[in-house]
Amino acid sequence: MFRPIRIGLCLSGGGAKGIAHIGVLKALREVGIYPDVVSGASAGSVVGALYAAGKTPEEMIDFVRDGSLFKIYKIILPSDGFTKLTYLKEKLQQAIPDDSFEKLKRPLFVSVTNLITGESEIFSQGPLFDVIVASSSIPLVFSPVEINGQLYVDGGLLANFPVAPLISRSDVVLGVNLMPQEPVSEKTVQNIIGIATRCFSLSVWANTQPQLSRCHVLITPPHIDQYHVFQFNRYKELVELGYEAALDKMPEIIDAIETARKARNALKEAVVPLRGQA
């Protein structure tokens, strides 16, 4: 009846900024904290899948360090206006042995947006790679991904912070938000790409903000807004940013875990005498 304390980790989307998630996992690992269940959107789903597959932070850094990986996020629009994340799928196939949620070492929940129904969906079973690619497919940049006869795009469009699946499965919920709402300079919204990017970011914030309070501890790396969603070449800085942000929150994280553990022990001590009376 009394299982160990379970820790949930929600990883938001954010394009290249998602590399900061690796730094967070590195900091947690150093103090012996290994989240038991993970959820993610877009870039958060990529890092979440690697973690759930048992990859170390160092192996995740190798995953993003490959220079050719940068190519998958370049905005090079062919004649039909879209490009595909084929290379991301190839990289996932190389890094993760089985194309299956069930074969992962830890439970993973991934948010995607169904273009047909207009609804957010959470995948946690079945084939893995196409779901991760779909969750990472930024609208108007990457082609939608067909899964079970439906078309899916970036999970962040409607659920960039998919914390809901963790609530009933975790005693302590940690969250990492990489898309805070921050003012931008007028210069950044003077062309069609800048305006489209800003509109997408505002949509993401609108669906993220109501979910943040559901975490026991929320990590938002400072100055993360200064990085562009396609700046994969700055991966070292982003890892360090996430690492330092997690270290700053570590006292809160440890306190939340200890509080949950004490509550569990108190409940256990209260139940045992009742069993004896029965």
Residues acting as catalytic residues: 42, 154
What distances in angstroms separate CA 171 from CA 3, 43, 121, 148, 268, one per listed residue?
10, 25, 24, 33, 15
147 bridge partner residues: 150
- Judge residue 124's burial from the number of C-beta atoms within 10 Å of its C-beta, 0-12 exposed, 13-18 middle, 19 or more buried: middle
Distance between CA atoms of 249 and 251, rounded to whole angstroms? 6
Distance between CA atoms of 205 and 207, rounded to whole angstroms? 5
